[in-house]
């Protein structure tokens, strides 16, 4: 493993500071109204420093997804060792909902809105830890004889995440008016039964 130098650690902290500032500013003003100049002024950095870490303002949104992916890859996925594949998928969805809830309905609303304004191909089809982690769980379930094989693991993953995103969007519309984790688990659990392999 490559040793982290003081310079690299400073770079990570600088990028994090800009990202945090940008997210806070877009939460207050909206994604379209928070300019790069505004972000730089609020963060106390030069425009050149911004472009050193982010190619465009769109990458601020991607920065949130990178952070989420890193958390699931390093923390959530390694912990999913015990239980059936069904239980692991439900635990995974619970963790996703908890992460969104901890991030806050204001931030999530900004992120969802911003996705409609930027190239969202990376969010739906890109190589990301969150969807790939769920696909691995579905594949494990197929290998264990728990999930159907007439539907691919990728198809099942895409459908589950579509249902989950809809639940989160509805939560945003309600201004966080209900327990996201509880509702996401309940709805996905009902949907997941369609993928279970039933024996006569």
Q: Give the C-alpha separation, 188 to 137, whole Å.
A: 14
C-alpha distance from residue 119 to each of 10, 70, 100, 122, 179 (Å): 30, 21, 21, 7, 30
pLDDT tens-place string over residues 53-107: 988 887 887 788 888 889 999 999 999 989 999 999 999 999 999 999 988 888 8
Percentage above 70 pLDDT, the chain: 92
Give the model's pLDDT for residue 122: 55
Q: Give the C-alpha separation, 149 to 38, whole Å.
A: 51
CA dihedral (22, 28, 29, 31) positive or negative: positive
pTM: 0.81
């Amino acid at each position: 493993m490559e040793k982290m130098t003081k310079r690299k650690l400073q770079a990570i902290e600088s990028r994090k500071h800009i990202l945090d500032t940008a997210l806070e500013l877009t939460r207050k003003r909206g994604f379209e109204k928070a300019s790069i100049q505004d972000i730089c002024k609020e963060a106390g950095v030069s425009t050149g420093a911004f472009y050193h870490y982010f190619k465009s303002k769109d990458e601020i949104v991607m920065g949130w997804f990178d952070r989420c992916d890193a958390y699931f890859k390093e923390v959530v996925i390694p912990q999913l060792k015990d239980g059936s594949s069904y239980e692991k998928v439900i635990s995974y969805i619970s963790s996703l909902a908890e992460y969104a809830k901890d991030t806050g309905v204001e931030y999530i609303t900004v992120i969802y809105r911003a996705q409609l304004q930027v190239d969202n191909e990376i969010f739906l089809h890109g190589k990301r830890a969150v969807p790939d982690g769920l696909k691995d769980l579905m594949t494990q379930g197929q290998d264990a004889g728990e999930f159907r094989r007439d539907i691919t693991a990728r198809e099942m993953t895409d459908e589950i995440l579509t249902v989950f995103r809809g639940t989160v969007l509805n939560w945003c519309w309600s201004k966080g008016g209900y327990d996201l984790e509880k509702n996401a688990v309940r709805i996905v659990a009902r949907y997941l039964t369609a993928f279970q392999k039933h024996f006569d």
